Structure 1
Amino acid sequence: MFENREGERQLETDPATMPADAHLVFIGHIASPWTRREDCPKNMRAARETGRPATLTVDAPYREGLAGLEGVSHMAILTWLHHAPRHLIVQKPRHATEPKGVFALRSPVRPNPIGLHIVRLVGLDAESGRLDLEAIDVLDGTPVIDIKPYFASVDSVPDVVVERADR
């Protein structure tokens, strides 16, 4: 059972119980060393610091989509964080002093638990659909929604400002 912290608020209807409307398909899955939420790194920086690699396997019907990816050093991977609760709209992270709206947080607990991971691609076998990753911050078996090349020339934002003391 999921227990709310002080200041947290739930949605009236849990999105997990609502009818599907996006018709998303999973294109593959992640094999990672993390099998328990307690052990999984909280972000990509922490995942890289562990030195533990991961593998993304793209399902057969989508493998042709890997053509041209061999020249890419980094990718953005969108995942479906299938173990995350979806019912909170205001959360109070353990490290925060005040509750925050879900859209002001990077928490996996959100109406649509989509993960965004910027990863280093260290190996690619397009025929088998295997992508070797330097690291990733998801549980073993996490479904993959999409893969996109990371282009520093358009994706990096050098003048970003986040006015928060509890990042």
Structure 2
Amino acid sequence: MSDDRPSGPTPPPTVPDEEVVFIGRIFTPYLSRSDCPRNVRQAREAEGHALLEIDPVYRPGLYGLSKFSHVIVLYWMDEAERDILVQYPRHVDGPCGVFSIRSPARPNPIAISVARILSLDEEQGRIEVEQLDCRSGTPLLDIKPYFPSVDSAPDATIG
């Protein structure tokens, strides 16, 4: 049986459930945390792009991604505070629990963005996407294809 899927190095063994593995890094024009826009909307208004660089061992996982126009990018905001549960955002009157806002300061500083793919090089492990709101070198946790049929919630509300 012929298999046209790309081969590559064997991924490292699965880690225990209490750990995550970074699959690569994100490169943006923002060199420090203080340079970063406050959110993805502001990052996109500044234009430009972000580059997702996938580590060699994970590059075979890009097979088939070229069929998609957008991806969900999960990244680790490694410089964020992790011990703040109640915050006072500028755009809201009064305090907010960390799970009701999208601040990177949270117990697990995982950020999520939907981004349009601008270019994809599976062999080099490079995905150019719309701008993201993180500093250059931010650890990349995962990439998932965006499916409008299940990832969009047209009837969603905010209060």
TM-score range, shorter chain: 0.7 to 0.9
Question: Structure 1 runs of 4+ off > 3 angstroms?
Answer: none
- 1:64 corresponds to 2:78: no
Q: Which amino acid aligns with 1:39?
A: D
Q: Determine the structure 2 residue equivalent to 1:110.
A: 106
Q: What letter matches 1:99 in structure 2?
A: P
- TM-score, reference length from structure 1: 0.83
Amino acid of the structure 2 residue aligned with 1:94: R
Aligned to 1:143: 139
Aligned residues: 144
Is 1:131–2:127 an aligned residue pair? yes
* Cα contact 1:79–1:114 (8 A) shared by 2: yes
Q: Counterparts of 1:2-17 in structure 2 under 5 Å? A: none
Q: Match for 1:84 among 71, 80, 84?
A: 80
Verify the 8 A CA contact 2:35 2:135 in the aligned structure 1: no
Give the distance between the partners of 2:155 and 2:91, measured in 1 at CA: 26
Using the TM superposition, name which of 102-111 and 31-40 deviates more.
31-40
Structure 1 position 29, deviation (Å): 0.4
Match for 1:50: what amino acid?
A
Q: How does 1:14-29 map to 2 (within 5 A)?
A: 22-29=18-25
1:25-64 aligned within 5 A: 25-64=21-60
Task: Kindly provide the amino acid, as one letter, of the partner of residue 111 in structure 2.
Answer: G
Specify which of 117, 123, 126 is matched with residue 121 of structure 1: 117
Q: TM-score, normalised by structure 2?
A: 0.87
Unaligned runs of 5+ in 2: 1-15
| Structure 1 residue identity aligned to 2:119 | G
Unaligned runs of 5+ in 1: 1-19
Which residue of structure 2 aligns with residue 96 of structure 1? Answer: 92
The separation in 2 between residues aligned to 1:154 and 1:81, in whole angstroms, is 26
- Letter of the structure 2 residue corresponding to residue 123 of structure 1: S
